[in-house]
């Protein structure tokens, strides 16, 4: 019996030692620059770059944006990369100086895209040919899905230095965040990967015209786009797109927070307070950009009588998913205002939970309410830091509005 026990202890010790050795022998991502691609179609690749730093962090780069990823798990030659804020992740195998696997979104059914990465590659797209350049600097009037009943307008803002191009698109419901790419002779390519969205824009350019454009979003969506230079083009006023329906004078609701406590604007906590209500989703990058700004606003004006309530609409109408995603958002973004659960993010269903609004056209939609409960502004969409000066102008005007509703 003693011999059996001794043998078992030896085997257990060997197993523990073997496990420790396996962990110690796990392959690591090599420090430096990597070029990654998502294979969104059989013949279409969406590229982006990331860095592995000395302290083993992964940093995704999209123009001026840097997304820091700290949650990286190694197991032998396998690596799992869990992105902040959003629930997506990469499962891949390290092979020499390469990575091969999938980008996975667990919030969507069977949603995974082939993922490849190579160490030591600095170019986002293939190296541009040294040919005469077409200039895309400036402001463009853009039409997506031209010639169809689903056509809609946008503004293209591009900055070009030699072959490198950065910029974004502004629509009535928000911007396309930080895009980066290049200009070759007659060919424009831009991409963005922020762990929630994967965008790729391609087009031909000739003087003041952009044509044959295709916009790819993830593995399912693509649409055509065209553009012409137009410094004077403006979109519809985003303050006029969402409004109170006839018969309603105020906003109110009854939604649970992550602890299950029902929250209403008629609660004593909000009496005589100026309030911002943010209609958002944890899956929405524009909403996360706005949440960072609103967190700054809340820290600045809370002591003066400002409250902020976010109504979170999730892809899955699941309270447990809501609780998990709220915890992640608060930790990763430093959100310290209240977040409640509105239900499913499907706009037609979400609108039923707030019947006093004519519709929910965009995530985010932001409602500014004075101390008497009167709505002073409803902002549809959000143009974030990727829009540069437009974002700074928005912050300045919104801060003035907040100071006004606090009086």
Q: Give 314-327 pLDDT, tens digit per residue.
A: 999 999 999 999 99
Percentage with pLDDT > 70 across the chain? 93
Question: 322 has which bridge partners?
Answer: none
Mean pLDDT for the stretch of residues 187-208: 95
Mean pLDDT for the stretch of residues 19-39: 78
Instruction: State the pTM of this model.
Output: 0.88
302: pLDDT strictly greater than 90? yes
Mean pLDDT for the stretch of residues 227-243: 94
Q: Which domains does the chain have, with CATH numbers?
A: 32-119 (2.40.128.120), 138-229 (2.40.128.120), 255-406 (3.40.30.10)
209/197 Cα distance (integer angstroms) = 27
pLDDT tier at 292, thresholds 50, 70, 90 = very high
Q: What's the pLDDT at 272? A: 94
Q: What's the pLDDT at 324? A: 93
**256-266 pLDDT, tens per residue?**
999 999 999 99
Q: What's the pLDDT at 19? A: 37
**101-144 pLDDT, tens per residue?**
999 999 888 899 999 999 998 899 987 666 667 899 999 999 99
Q: In the predicted model, what is the mean pLDDT of the chain?
A: 91
Q: What's the pLDDT at 129? A: 65
**334-347 pLDDT, tens per residue?**
999 999 999 999 99
Question: 274 has which bridge partners?
Answer: 306
**36-86 pLDDT, tens per residue?**
999 999 889 999 999 999 989 999 999 999 999 999 999 999 999 999 999
> With helix as H, strand as E and coil as C, how does the chain read?
CHHHHHHHHHHHHHHHHHHHHHHHCCCCCCCEEEEEEEEEECCEEEEEEEEECCCCCEEEEECCEEEEECEEEEECCEEEEECCCCCCEEEEEEECCEEEEEEECCCCCCCEEEEEEEECCCCCCCCCCCCCCCCCCEEEEEEECCCCCCCEEEEEEEEEECCEEEEEEEECCEECCCEEEEEECCEEEEEEECCCCEEEEEEEEECCEEEEEEEEECCCEEEEEEEEECCCCCCCCCCCCCCECCCCCCCCCCEEECCCCEECCCCHHHCCCEEEEEEECCCCHHHHHHHHHHHHHHHHHHHHCEEEEEEEEECCCCHHHHHHHHHHHHHHHCCCCEEEEEEECCHHHHHHHCCCECCCCCCCEEEEECCCCCEEEEEECCCCHHHCHHHHHHHHHHHHHHHHHHC
pLDDT tier at 380, thresholds 50, 70, 90 = very high
């Amino acid at each position: 019996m003693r011999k059996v026990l001794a043998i078992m202890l030896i085997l257990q010790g060997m197993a523990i030692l073997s496990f420790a050795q396996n962990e110690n022998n796990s392959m690591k991502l090599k420090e430096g620059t990597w070029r990654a691609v998502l294979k969104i179609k059989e013949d279409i690749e969406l590229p982006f770059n990331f860095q592995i730093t000395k302290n083993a962090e992964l940093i995704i780069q999209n123009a001026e944006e840097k997304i820091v990823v700290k949650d990286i798990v190694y197991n032998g030659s396998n690596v799992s990369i869990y992105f902040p804020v959003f629930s997506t992740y990469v499962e891949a195998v390290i092979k020499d100086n390469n990575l091969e696997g999938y980008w996975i979104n667990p919030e969507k059914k069977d949603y995974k895209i082939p993922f490849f990465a190579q160490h030591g590659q600095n170019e986002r797209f293939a190296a541009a040919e040294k040919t005469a350049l077409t200039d895309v600097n400036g402001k463009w009037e853009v039409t997506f899905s031209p010639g169809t009943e689903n056509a809609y307008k946008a503004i293209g803002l591009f900055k070009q230095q030699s072959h490198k191009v950065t910029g974004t698109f502004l629509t009535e419901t928000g911007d396309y965040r930080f895009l980066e790419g290049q200009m070759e002779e007659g060919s424009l390519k831009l991409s963005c990967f922020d762990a929630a969205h994967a965008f790729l824009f391609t087009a031909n350019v000739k003087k003041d015209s952009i044509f044959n454009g295709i916009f790819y979003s993830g593995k399912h969506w693509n649409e055509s786009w065209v553009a012409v230079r137009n410094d004077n083009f403006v979109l519809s006023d985003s303050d006029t797109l969402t409004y109170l329906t006839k018969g309603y004078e105020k906003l109110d609701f009854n939604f649970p927070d992550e602890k299950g406590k029902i929250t209403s604007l008629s609660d004593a906590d909000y009496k005589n307070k100026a309030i911002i209500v943010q209609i958002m989703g944890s899956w929405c990058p524009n909403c996360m950009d706005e949440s960072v700004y609103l967190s700054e606003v809340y820290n600045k004006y809370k002591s003066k009588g400002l409250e902020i309530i976010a109504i979170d609409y999730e892809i899955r109408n699941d309270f447990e998913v809501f609780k998990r995603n709220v915890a992640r958002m608060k930790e990763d973004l430093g959100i310290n205002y209240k977040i409640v659960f509105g239900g499913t993010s499907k706009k037609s269903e979400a609108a039923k939970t707030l019947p006093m609004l004519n519709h929910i056209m965009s995530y985010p939609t932001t409602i500014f309410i004075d101390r008497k409960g009167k709505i002073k502004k409803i902002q549809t969409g959000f143009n974030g830091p990727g829009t540069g000066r437009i974002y700074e102008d928005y912050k300045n005007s919104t801060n003035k509005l907040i100071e006004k509703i606090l009086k």
